[in-house]
Amino acid sequence: MIPAPTAPESDALFARARAVTPGGVNSPVRAFNAVGGTPRFIRSASGAWLTDVDGNEYVDLICSWGPMLLGHAHPEVHAAVSAALARGTSYGAPTEAEVLLAEEIVDRTPVERVRFVSSGTEATMSAIRLARGFTGRDVIVKFAGCYHGHVDSLLAAAGSGLATFATPGTPGVPESSTALTLVLPYNDRAAVEAAFAEHGPRIACLVTEAAPGNMGVVPPEPGFNRFLAETCASHGALFVSDEVMTGFRASRLGQWGLDGAVEGWRPDLMTFGKVMGGGFPAAAFGGRADVMSRLSPEGPVYQAGTLSGNPIATTAGLATLRLATDDVYAHITAAGDTIKAAASDALTAAGVPHVVQSAGTMFSVFFTDPADGPVRDFADASRTDTAAYAAFFHALLERQVYLPPSAYEAWFLSSAHDDRAVQTVLDALPAAAAAAAA
Ligand code: PLP
């Protein structure tokens, strides 16, 4: 029996971090506020494993919140990055790596042209500006529970009625920033129809996660994304599919590979991030050539970035995408199926109500009552038993399994999750389910 990890070094670093950084972290979910306890400060990572500053090892089921599709410190990605590093780190001038990565993305997705930025937030922010600039309209539509980064106009809470404008979702966002945003319930066609019926001529774009993963995994109901694309088209609005999380992750072709490619439609604009940066800060937005040509310097819609298309990040992204073959996705699917089944079996045996949901290779476990049906939207997701999740999370952490420290996140695997890593998770699940039941 491996002793439960203790974390005195993480405790000490967390205390120092809190003195100099709000909450001790540089992105809120890392602080463990939703589950309690001390966040583990990570010293290194390799393959499917994280090692913290106390020397504890954990099977990583976060994968940096999606990017590490091939696992940590992949030797071929590292070799490419090391070679790029030796040539300098940033030039502020175009490079071949940017062209190669853009070609790879154009090849693997329905976008015709692409522009690189440094974060998913920038990608969605820029896509919305471009949609407004292209259409000459001002209103944007999003869904409750979909996260598109910390863009002011998208940090919005639903208004009092279905087709009423949103209110700020956080202090610091002025009402004027969300006054042109409509927030609708996900998977709700009637709400989309009502919003377009009332505001159609003013709607520049509808933006949605291609398969939401930021309220736990809530897949689009069959045909929902196509319905959104068609509704936008019939009202002269652009359909913006946010694949920052799902892109090159849900499948080789992202969520679009699971619906649009099969059904024969394409978004007007798409956003990407995470996997395409190979663990470095890189993201992108792209889409129809006629829309993208409105972007500066070809067109009048301004957009720029000092580190956009950074040579190290684009090299890592290109190496990652080139290594992300069908075999990688088949491996991740199989490992995910094993873990999903074992989690469900353990929770059932412990008498813990739960629902497992997937979008391609992404999945999550909701601690909701299956009698209430699948989780279709944010209101359903909000019913998850967060206390049960916290107990489950800590029991797994004690047994060397590092789940997302929030009940509303997807679980991520990589091609490096081998039998030993998966078995470590399987061995830990019965005790974690018992803890969730207590
Ligand atoms: N869009 C989606 C779907 C995301 O999941 C995220 C981040 O999790 C973002 C946008 C924002 O990306 P970033 O954190 O790189 O700004």
Is 242 annotated in the active site?
A: yes
Contact 133, 150 (CB under 8 A): no
Query: Measured in Å, how far apart are the chain's first and last C-alpha atoms?
Result: 22
| Kind plus residue range of the DSSP H or E element containing 243 | strand 238-243
Residue 213 and residue 226: Cα distance in Å, rounded? 19
Residue 379 and residue 362: Cα distance in Å, rounded? 21
pLDDT tens per residue, range 362-416: 999 999 999 999 999 999 999 999 999 999 999 999 999 999 999 999 999 999 9
Residue of the nearest CA to atom 13 in ligand 1? 120
The residue length of the chain stands at 438
Residues 6+ apart with CB under 8 A from 190: none
Q: Residue 113: what pLDDT?
A: 98
pLDDT exceeds 70 at position 4: no
pLDDT tens per residue, range 201-232: 999 999 999 999 999 999 999 999 999 999 99
What ligand 1 atom has the least distance to the C-alpha of 273?
Answer: 15
Is 274 annotated in the active site?
A: yes
What ligand 1 atom has the least distance to the C-alpha of 122?
Answer: 16
Per residue in 36-69, is it b (16+ CB within 10 Å) or e — as a string?
ebbbbbeeebebbbbbbbbebbbbbbbbbbbbbb
pLDDT tens per residue, range 56-83: 999 999 999 999 999 999 999 999 999 9
Residue of the nearest CA to atom 10 in ligand 1? 148
Mutational pocket test of ligand 1: of 27, 118, 147, 269, the residue with most ligand atoms within 8 Å of the beta carbon: 147
Residue 180 and residue 161: Cα distance in Å, rounded? 14
What ligand 1 atom has the least distance to the C-alpha of 283?
Answer: 15
Q: Residue 164: what pLDDT?
A: 84
Residue 422 and residue 438: Cα distance in Å, rounded? 25
Q: Residue 86: what pLDDT?
A: 98
Q: What is the average pLDDT across 44-49?
A: 98
Please state the domain extents for the chain.
76-323
- Give percent helix, percent strand, percent coil of the chain, each to the nearest 5: 40, 15, 40
Q: Residue 331: what pLDDT?
A: 98
Q: Residue 267: what pLDDT?
A: 98
Identify the active-site residue in 52, 274, 329, 380. 274
Q: Residue 430 is encoded by which pair of tokens?
A: 């019965």
Identify the active-site residue in 52, 142, 147, 385. 147
| Kind plus residue range of the DSSP H or E element containing 123 | helix 120-135
Q: Residue 319: what pLDDT?
A: 98
Is the interface score ipTM higher than 0.95? yes
Contact 341, 415 (CB under 8 A): no
Contact 196, 239 (CB under 8 A): no
C-alpha dist (Å) from residue 61 to 44, 94, 126, 241, 383: 15, 36, 30, 25, 23
Q: Residue 161: what pLDDT?
A: 76
pTM given for the model? 0.97
Q: What is the average pLDDT across 338-343?
A: 98
How far is the centre of ligand 1, averaged over its atoms, from the C-alpha of 150 (Å)? 8
How far is the centre of ligand 1, averaged over its atoms, from the C-alpha of 200 (Å)? 27
Fold assignment, 76-323: Aspartate Aminotransferase; domain 2 (3.40.640)
Mutational pocket test of ligand 1: of 119, 126, 244, the residue with most ligand atoms within 8 Å of the beta carbon: 244
Q: Please give the distance of CA 413 from its chain centroid, rounded to a whole number.
A: 13
In the numeric block, the tokens 């393959």 are attached to 47
Q: Rg of the chain's alpha carbons, rounded to an integer? A: 21
Q: Residue 2: what pLDDT?
A: 55
| Among the listed residues 298, 256, 303, 302, the one whose alpha carbon sits nearest the alpha carbon of residue 283 | 303
The one-character DSSP state at 31 is G
| Positive/negative CA dihedral, 402, 404, 407, 411 | negative
pLDDT exceeds 70 at position 245: yes
With cut-offs at 50, 70 and 90, classify the pLDDT of residue 3: low
Residue 178 and residue 251: Cα distance in Å, rounded? 33
Is 147 annotated in the active site?
A: yes
Residue ranges around ligand 1 (CB below 6 Å) = 65, 119-121, 124, 147-149, 209, 214, 242, 244-245, 273, 283
Q: Residue 36 is encoded by which pair of tokens?
A: 């309690």
Q: Residue 34 phi/psi, 5° resolution?
A: -75, -20
